[in-house]
Amino acid sequence: MSKTPELIVNDLRVAVEGKEILKGLSLQVAKGEIHALMGPNGSGKSTLANTLMGHPRYEVTGGEILFKGLSILEMEADERSRAGLFMAFQYPVAIPGLSVANFLRSALNARLVRPETNGSGTMPQKKGIAPREFRALLKGQMALLKMDESFATRYLNDGFSGGEKKRAEILQMALLKPEIAIMDETDSGLDIDALRVVSDGVNALAGPDLGVLVITHYQRILNYIKPHRVHVMVDGRISVSGGPELALELETRGYDWVRNGKEVTAP
């Protein structure tokens, strides 16, 4: 594709507790593109997602991650989020006592607030989005995602079904408006109806200002979220890349077809 990629991963090597998981992975994602990253269990897909967002458990031992032309390897997770990266978790955490609306307003304020410099040095800004403005924004995004407004009053992920947890992630993405969204096996644990609802949410947000990396084990979510590019991970690196038809071929032939020496193409 001719677009300039916002996210560039070059020869990335990552270890967990001394064991190398990613072994020279390279990938590029631009705004306006949907990329699917597929691979068997244990290939390193979730390791990549967590490394991109700065999880401290994952040690980068080589290579680089560039976002909008700058290295983010020394940035904390919150700094990466403020820069425009977002991750939808495979297993979102429940927080009893914290409403979805309050969580989303806090997350949005954390994204919007920037340090400001005055004569005595750098001071944090206190002001965030006004309550009335936030309510209007939340109502609009929930309407876009076809969500009942009562959802916002419930405690975050507390007693939620698998589909509701993933919809809460999509709503968070809608409000934060990232430039690159990483979806770590969002289809995990979803029945076909929930999968369709979540996919409709992603498709509603997709557009020229958002790049999406859909990490998945199965092809089924790609029936609803149509990727521009499909990459297959095996043993810590991308072994083959292609168009949407590659996912269908994997569904028919399985991952052994890739393990057994399918010709590698550039990411």
Domain presence at residue 264 = no
Domain presence at residue 267 = no
Q: Find all residues with CB under 8 Å of 6, minimum gap 6, and list them.
A: 29, 30, 31, 67, 68, 84, 179, 180, 211
Q: How confident is the model at residue 264 (pLDDT cuts 50, 70, 90)?
A: very low
Nearest one of 3, 10, 66 to 35, comparing CA atoms? 3
Average pLDDT over residues 206-210: 93
Domain presence at residue 93 = yes
Residue 263 scores a pLDDT above 50: no
Domain presence at residue 60 = yes
Give the range of the structural domain holding residue 46, as residue numbers without chain letter.
7-118+125-259
Query: How many domains would you assign to the chain?
Result: 1
Domain presence at residue 26 = yes
- What is the domain-level CATH number for residue 234? 3.40.50.300
Q: Count of CB atoms within 10 A of residue 143's CB?
A: 10
Q: What is the pLDDT of residue 117?
A: 46
Domain presence at residue 2 = no
Scored b (16 or more CB within 10 A) or e, 119-138 reads eeeeeeeeebbeeeebeebb
What percent of the chain is predicted at pLDDT more than 70? 91
Q: What is the pLDDT of residue 123?
A: 52
Q: How confident is the model at residue 2 (pLDDT cuts 50, 70, 90)?
A: very low
Read off the pLDDT of residues 67-110 as tens digits, 9 standing for 90 and up.
999 999 999 999 999 999 999 988 899 999 999 999 999 999 98
Domain presence at residue 154 = yes
Tokens of 149: 């407004």
Contact 44, 182 (CB under 8 A): no
> Residue 246: enclosing H or E segment and its boundaries?
helix 245-253
Domain presence at residue 107 = yes
Q: What's the pTM?
A: 0.89
Contact 1, 33 (CB under 8 A): yes
Mean pLDDT of the chain: 89
**Higher pLDDT among residues 103 and 1, named by residue:** 103
Read off the pLDDT of residues 172-190 as tens digits, 9 standing for 90 and up.
999 999 999 999 998 888 8
Tokens of 40: 């068997």
What are the distances in angstroms from CA 5 to CA 17, 73, 189? 31, 17, 31
Read off the pLDDT of residues 3-60 as tens digits, 9 standing for 90 and up.
778 999 999 999 999 999 999 999 999 999 999 999 988 899 999 999 999 999 999 9
Residue 267 scores a pLDDT above 80: no
Average pLDDT over residues 222-240: 93
Q: How confident is the model at residue 266 (pLDDT cuts 50, 70, 90)?
A: very low
State residue 56 phi and psi, 5-degree precision: -70, -15
